[in-house]
Chains A and B, each alone.
Chain A
Amino acid sequence: MPLSLRAALACRAAAFATALGLAGAALAQPRPAPPPAAAASAAEPTAPTGAGQRIYERIRPQLLQVRTLLKTQDSQSSVGSGFLVDDAGHLITNYHVISQYALRPSQHRLVYATVDGRQGALQLLAFDVVHDLALLKPVDPAPLAGRGAVPIRPASEPLPRGARIYSMGNPLDVGFAVAEGSFNGPVERSYLPTLFFGGSLSSGMSGGPALDDNGRLVGVNVAARRDGEQVSFLVPADPVRLLISRGRGASPIVAPAWDEVARQLGEHETRLTAAFINQPWRNAGHPLYRIPVPQETWMRCWGRSSPAQSRGLQFERSDCEMDSRVFVAGPLLTGYITVRHEAYDGSRIGAWRFSERHSSSFGNEFVGRDDRLRTAAQCRERTIVPPAAPGTTAKAEPALPLRAVVCLRAYKKLPGLHDLMVLVATLDGRTAGVQGRLDAFGVGLASAERLTRHYLAGFGRSGSATEVPK
């Protein structure tokens, strides 16, 4: 398949996934920043003059910086923000802020730093990898006890779109800061509930609270788009409540948490697969073929076609991707599905040339090599005929031969989870054809089988039913 759009889409996805944890490399960048004391100067005992100042003054005791340090030295490998959720000193941050500790606790340690400069060691109690949240508590509760808690805005009081909210955190480890912006409701077409914050979030603010006018929690800072202006994202309060209630009494995590990550991802992929298969395919509107295109309920589809003047192969392509992806570790984002297809019209180039282009395009697919986190992909291939769509007879819809390849790539540290790739090409057309690809990242075997069947059943000849059985 042509690579340029794929690269563009990859960039777009990467931009979305820009989490706000601050790694050491970012710190190394020279920044013409004001001295750190500038942010802290808001703590001067002057009368509050604005809402931001008032809320900051109220939240100051509960606001924290959360650092992941290398155990053998004091170098920080990740820096984020956090906030206290009860008087006992429990605090919430993002999973991605503490992921290095969660996955390799023998080599890292966690510490907090308060606005007034107090520091202490932290323990990880629980995390929600899917919603990117973690619950921690101090080893010595005394310094954080009695500082109060950030109240959570009740679900019964939905915030109107456009309301001012105030995001707190320690951007780029420069100093505690308030980023004011507007609440824009849930992100549209997002599988995981995510809030759209019309304000600027920077690295290091991850895990900090975003508060309403009354200082109540609306969401937790989590990510920002780098290809737009003031397009940032918050984890809503519901998963925060659930994590607090689930993890408050838990024993501290001291061993690598890969199995727990795998368990949570397994539950996520089962729900996601069921929800995906529950949606009927859309019709791509192709004159010859029925091509499976997912609903855009929580996916975005981008289309592109060949230039009109092209003398060569004509094509139209569609790339459908989920914005919601689950951060597991540095390079590993998983828990999502993409579907794409290319419809080729070779009437201008003739059957021989079309055959050559069709094969070349089918071969130009990357399925993955062996790396530290995943095995190399292994594939099986067959020429198949999908069943006729319901309501059609074999006569009305003669069998459509397809070349189909399934590939699996296993996660080395997440038992039972795989990346699934299904590649399909139609074989009946002398000068026309369709190639499709479904990718499901982080799925179990059962889901892989269901998704494969579901996807293959989405292909057929057009003119028949536009929906296929679930």
Chain B
Amino acid sequence: MSTPARLALLEVIGRDGRVTRAVDVQRWPLTLGRSLEADVVLDDPFVAPLHATLQAADDGRLTLDVGNTDNGVQEGAQRHTRGSRVAVPVGGTTWQIGGLTVRLRTPDETLPGEQPLPVRARRAAWLPLAAAATLAVLALSNHWLSLDPGADTMDWIPLVAGLPLVLGLWAGLWATASKLFQHRFEFGAHLRLALPLVAAVEAVDWFGPPLAAALDLPWLWRLVTPLQVALLLALLYGHLALVLPQARRAVASFVGAAALAGAAVAITTTWQQVDRWSRAPYMSTLPTPWTLWRDPTPPETLAADLAPLAEQLARRVQKARDDEPPEAGDED
């Protein structure tokens, strides 16, 4: 018994872009609808009982006849209404029928090439290990620093158990998102992404302030937090790009816009409250005796700093007075 020839393939596309159902077309015409009488039953409440019919003309060209439907058939930006007849493009096309995306593939289609699977480069295998080791060393030493000598073993539990747990949960959540959109539970990929960036955030926290203090560069000290935030944004972008690899540009735009908006809000509120770009009024990290690299100055220089400060404040006071409505002067 021979199988009839396949004239075309009708596919129903799922929410994530994957084919959820494929129907071999072995004869024309082919009716589509919710009714059981239709050749292809489309079980969707927004589909009419006999929604559309696909027909082949004598010359083999295909047409779509839109049936007795209120919703019609959407093809790209065009909407085909009840009773209309439209030609099916060469190679097939995709329609929105009710709530379903339906694709027709015909033998004359041009088949795109095979897409490569997202294979992780093997050379990066050492990186997560090195990052994990760095992160562990930095976090443990940071915790050691915060504890007084003779601390109880229990004091180490939050870090020793908590850090792997939090990282695991973090990677697990992103992997779940990957599973949702990519059908792959990419736990390892998300963990490999997070480890070096979290280690970098920790390293900036460790080495940035002491370096700024040793060099007596308060501006560098103030850059530590923005740098950490930038690293965390990079982490966010990395995770999103893994989850939605086909929308990297949109993800980059979203993260960039969120970063800009966040920075604008943070800078504005800081400026309103403290008249400075940075919330910290001064560099609070002290250089250690062994990193006191810059030569000290005489105290007179600090006293001399007061006059320009007072001038700066006088301008601020003048601005506050100018902004004040007349007859104001509330004192209580």
A residues with CB within 8 A of B: 77, 99-100, 103-104, 106, 256, 258, 310-313, 328-332, 348-353, 355-356, 358-360, 362-365, 367, 369-370, 372-373, 375-387, 399, 401-413, 415, 418, 420, 423, 425, 427-430, 445, 448-449, 452-453, 456-457
Contacts and interface: CB of A to CB of B under 8 A. Distances in A.
B31 to A, nearest CB: 73
B116 interface: no
Contacts of A381: 218, 282-283
Contacts of B312: 378
Interface string B249-274: 00000000000000000000000111
B169 to A, nearest CB: 29
B303 A453 contact: yes
Interface string B277-319: 0001111111111001010111111111111011011101100
B282 A379 contact: yes
A112 to B, nearest CB: 21
A410 B321 CA distance: 13
B279 to A, nearest CB: 10
Nearest to A331: B332
Given A401-B292, A404-B302, A258 B329 contact: yes
Nearest 3 pairs between A and B by C-beta? A363-B284, A329-B331, A330-B332
Contacts of B296: 382-385, 399, 401-402
Given A384-B298, A399-B296, A407-B282, A445 B329 contact: no
Contacts of B307: 445, 449
Contacts of B275: 370, 375-376, 378
A372 to B, nearest CB: 7
12 contacts: A100-B332, A330-B332, A365-B284, A378-B312, A378-B313, A380-B302, A380-B305, A383-B296, A384-B298, A401-B296, A403-B287, A430-B288
B326 to A, nearest CB: 10
Contacts of B300: 453
Given A106-B327, A311-B148, A430-B289, A409 B302 contact: no
Interface string B209-220: 100010010100
B310 A349 contact: no
Nearest to B209: A359
A193 B213 CA distance: 46
B148 A408 contact: no
A348 B273 CA distance: 40
Given A370-B274, A376-B276, A427-B292, A350 B298 contact: no
B157 interface: no
A382 B146 CA distance: 27
A154 B314 CA distance: 45
A382 to B, nearest CB: 5
Contacts, number: 184
B299 A457 contact: yes
B145 A449 contact: no
Nearest to B313: A410
A387 B296 CA distance: 12
Given A363-B285, A449-B304, 10 more contacts: A104-B329, A310-B148, A353-B149, A364-B284, A370-B273, A383-B292, A399-B296, A412-B321, A413-B331, A448-B310
A384 B302 contact: yes
B114 interface: no
Contacts of B218: 381
A356 B281 contact: no
A413 B329 contact: yes
A384 B299 contact: yes
Given A380-B305, A382-B301, A401-B296, A349 B149 contact: yes
A60 to B, nearest CB: 32
Given A383-B292, A399-B296, A456 B284 contact: no
Nearest to A411: B317
Nearest to B216: A383
B150 interface: yes
A372 B330 contact: yes
B121 interface: no
B144 to A, nearest CB: 8
B320 interface: yes
B329 A355 contact: no
A383 B287 contact: yes
Nearest to A429: B289
A355 B327 contact: no
Contacts of B306: 380, 406, 408, 420, 445, 448-449, 452
